[in-house]
A and B are shown apart, each in its own frame.
Chain A
């Protein structure tokens, strides 16, 4: 098995209970693994939550982390995947001062070329949204940076796997 460190996406199907985030993150903490991004949301199954965690580690570590996660009482199933095995996106929001839109012709071109969506426009600022891979949202950030970028925020990774997960069948098997 590969001992080289790389980015793994850990997907965890869980019950929706208070404190579970603490339990999940403690498994990374105990092994001194940094969590690069974390999102939780409902999953395709009612009352079942899904964590998507991106963290850099070796495949051996990923395998062990997944086993420890599955050992937790309220974790239904956990998986690890490489980037190639998943379809993933991140969303970023950019708040830019409105005057730059009118004064700097370049800003309009940046927005047009980036295929970003304009979420809202007001007299003081406008907000654009861009969903894509990290390098795409990063590129837009770099492009807008010189033009009064007032706020920038990027979500954690959300991803689905190319392979089926079959969680419903697993739940029935417990």
Chain B
């Protein structure tokens, strides 16, 4: 008797087969190792969905409740696994609904392939039903995009799409396929793409750059590292750890670098940027050598560039030559894949420790603890703080959970206080700041790492932007834990209004529905916490639950995130209150 797998591998092994463009799409996905995709059907992509039906034993399709949810779920999957996430939608509104997720993946370098249906070739440009120029629309926010109008183009273009999405600095690729190209048949043959003549995925390493960088690092008295997502994307966590342990350099992180280095590592010196830690921000303007590794000097990291680390020599490790000197002038650029550059620089750097310098971080950490952290994590007032919710989650999960945060105050608290033992565990919309990201991204993360606890931490504002994905959770039984920190405000905007707009709270107060009832409507077990006394046990109950679970925590309404670098201010002018 033949098994399903036998049939499948035979289907793959036959060299040339006469099949439709739609079936070819499925075969390409399988050949690229894809077994899970997110999407939403519609008129112009029906031939592909028809093939998905036939191949459902090999390729699982998750029906999200909105195309934006499909992209974020694909992103969550990609971020937790390091694989390419795949999202699918029909033409017109289906395609335009993908755009936010694509832009998010572009700015956060997430490997993703989006496939959209398009009206038939003969109708292109005729304003046909659900026709939209998605290639034109998505051009500025994709790493690459292409419109397929002939079935025979499918294998070559999809192979190229996956190669581009995952190689070098990863990013989103959109492939638009006209309906005729899905229906037409051709002789299918698949070959993986391994190079493109106009595209150099990874720059060649220049040994002189490594030696120059090593010379600066060896001469530094007060060196400081800022690492970003490049370490995670390059799967260079081990090389990074070995490098910092040999050089003894305090290592600070950007929001997307978080979890690449365990929270408890003695050289982990905290978060830089607008709501980062006090020490790394202040000491950015005191270090003598600043070593940026796989990060891009975002404005939320640097504050005012005119007063940013002017005293320091800057070394920048990156895979993307366009990042060098983009925002901060570099003294030594080390181009290449960090997994390789960090390994190759190791013999050139001296074994050192920077104890006195590390003490300066500790001194400032103590100030931050006293002025900010103490009240946030161990409040004496009645209201529950967002920080203590994260602290309680840490206590229960012991740093083993994947934390998926949305955008706003709760995101900053999550990134500041969540503890991580392993990499690829912090998933958040960093660059684009997309509210509504977390719920669908958590679905993708859970499906990518089913053995891990996945906790979405969301504000009451962002939650309602993609709340319909509760339907996806219900249907797929994805055991996502959802924590909504409800302060009945768009908290981050309210904080700015309080600090910079004389407390004119324009359209930031929210009258919310009964979130627990809504979750229950989707048959998701749900609970609400209003008192500190029951917070820990509620979190324990949520974690013990083997299915999805919704927990609403009613937190203090008008709390602020500190420290804070006001816009336009220097990193060293970070405010503690």
Contact = CB atoms under 8 A, between A and B. Distances in A.
Interface of A: 14-15, 18-19, 22-23, 26, 29-30, 63-64, 67-68, 70-71, 73-76, 171, 174
A26 B143 contact: no
Interface in B313-331: 320-322, 324-326
B140 A73 contact: no
A15 B147 CA distance: 16
A174 to B, nearest CB: 5
Q: In the complex, which of the residues A29, A67, A171 has the most CB atoms of chain B within 10 Å of its own CB atom?
A: A67
Contacts of A174: 195-200
B143 A23 contact: no
Contact of A67 (B135, B146, B147, B321): B321
A26 B139 contact: yes
Contacts, number: 51
A73 B325 contact: no
B198 A75 contact: yes
B144 A64 contact: no
A64 B320 CA distance: 12
B197 A171 contact: yes
Contact of B139 (A22, A75, A171): A22
Contacts of A18: 147
A76 B139 CA distance: 18
Contacts of A22: 136, 139
A70 B139 contact: no
Contact of A19 (B135, B164, B322, B325): B135
A27 to B, nearest CB: 8
Contact of B140 (A15, A26, A75): A26
A22 B326 CA distance: 23
A64 B200 contact: no
Contacts of A171: 197-198
A43 to B, nearest CB: 13
A15 B325 contact: no
A63 B324 CA distance: 11
B325 A63 contact: yes
Contact of A73 (B135, B136, B196, B322): B196
Contacts of A15: 198
B145 interface: yes
Interface residues of B, number: 22
Contacts of A14: 198
Determine the main DSSP class of B at the interface with A.
mixed
A14 B199 CA distance: 11
B334 to A, nearest CB: 16
A20 to B, nearest CB: 9
30 contacts: A14-B198, A15-B198, A19-B135, A19-B136, A19-B146, A19-B147, A26-B139, A30-B140, A63-B325, A64-B325, A64-B326, A67-B322, A67-B324, A67-B326, A68-B322, A71-B320, A71-B321, A71-B322, A73-B143, A73-B144, A73-B164, A73-B198, A73-B199, A75-B198, A76-B198, A171-B198, A174-B196, A174-B197, A174-B198, A174-B200
B444 to A, nearest CB: 25
A13 B200 CA distance: 15
A26 B137 CA distance: 11
Closest 9 CB pairs of A and B: A67-B322, A26-B140, A76-B198, A73-B144, A71-B322, A73-B199, A174-B197, A22-B139, A23-B139
Contact of A70 (B135, B145, B195, B322): B322
Interface in B152-209: 164, 195-200
Nearest to A30: B140
Contacts of B325: 63-64
Nearest to B321: A67
Interface in B129-145: 135-136, 139-140, 143-145
Contacts of A67: 321-322, 324, 326
Contacts of B326: 64, 67
Contact of B198 (A26, A30, A63, A74): A74
A58 B139 CA distance: 25
A64 B144 CA distance: 19
Interface in B356-415: none
Nearest to A67: B322
Contacts of B200: 174
Contacts of A29: 140
Given A67-B321, A76-B198, 17 more contacts: A14-B198, A19-B136, A19-B139, A19-B147, A22-B136, A22-B139, A23-B139, A23-B140, A26-B139, A26-B140, A30-B140, A70-B321, A71-B320, A73-B198, A74-B199, A76-B197, A174-B199
B231 to A, nearest CB: 21
A26 B146 CA distance: 16
A29 B140 CA distance: 10
A74 B196 CA distance: 9
Contacts of B195: 174
A15 B199 CA distance: 11
Contacts of A64: 322, 325-326
Q: In the complex, which of the residues A29, A73, A174 has the most CB atoms of chain B within 10 Å of its own CB atom?
A: A73
A75 B405 CA distance: 36
Contacts of A30: 140
Contacts of B135: 19
A50 to B, nearest CB: 13
Interface string B320-362: 1110111000000000000000000000000000000000000
A19 B147 CA distance: 9
